[in-house]
Each structure stands twice: as C-alpha cells, then as structure tokens.
Amino acid sequence: PWAALGKASILGETDGMVKIVADEKYGELLGVHIIGPHATDLIAEACVALQCEATVEELFRTVHAHPTLPEGLMEAAHGVFEQPIHLPPQRSKRRAK
C-alpha cells in the first residue's frame, strides 16, 4: 500500500496501491495495477518492464531511490517473494533465488 512509502507520507497522500500480475512458472510480468496519487508518473516504469518482458525478480533487483513513489513498484515485487521492505511479510508461493 501507498501508506508504506515514505514519499507518500511526506506528500500526505497515502491512499493507493501497486499490484503485480505475473506468470507463476517463469515470473514474467503480465500486468501492473497502479492506483493512487501520481499513478500516471509511475506507469512508465511498469510499461518499460512489460515491453522488455521483464520478470518479477528483475524488478525486485532494480535499484529504486528513497524516498520516492516508484518504490511502490519495488515493494510490490518484493511482496511477491515474501520479502517486503516496508511491510510485514505475507504468504506467497514464490521466493527470490
């Protein structure tokens, strides 16, 4: 959720989320949902990742500056592997290698 992002807290805009849809077997990104303030500023990174047929792990390992809203994409990728940076882990089937 947006509330976990330091930049969202700084801006006072904490309502929102990023959701990743990926192939379960290979981890290829199939889609990204971005809902919240400044979502239009974030969609370009997701579009490039989709165009390049990136995997969740590649997004997971991409460096994101802090504090920024694009950390939401990184946080969502970390969540797929049960390794969120700013949230307690949730149950999932995939793990980073």
d(C-alpha 44, C-alpha 56), whole Å: 16
- The model's pLDDT over 36-53, given as tens digits with 9 standing for 90+, comes to 999 999 999 999 999 999
* pTM exceeding the 0.85 threshold for the entire prediction: no
Q: 29-35 and 17-22 as β-strands: parallel, antiparallel, unpaired?
A: antiparallel
Task: Express each pLDDT in 16-38 by its tens digit.
Answer: 999 999 999 999 999 999 999 99
Q: What structural domains and CATH numbers belong to the chain?
A: 2-80 (3.30.390.30)
Q: Cα-atom radius of gyration of the chain, to the nearest Å?
A: 13
Q: What average pLDDT does the structure give for the chain?
A: 89
Q: Quick one: pLDDT at residue 84?
A: 79
% of the chain with per-residue pLDDT over 70: 90
Q: Which pLDDT belongs to residue 95?
A: 54
Per-residue pLDDT at 97: 53
Q: Is 38 a catalytic residue?
A: no
Handedness of CA 68, 59, 35, 48 (dihedral sign): positive
Selecting among 38, 66, 78, 86, the annotated active-site residue is 66
Residue 86 above 80 pLDDT? no
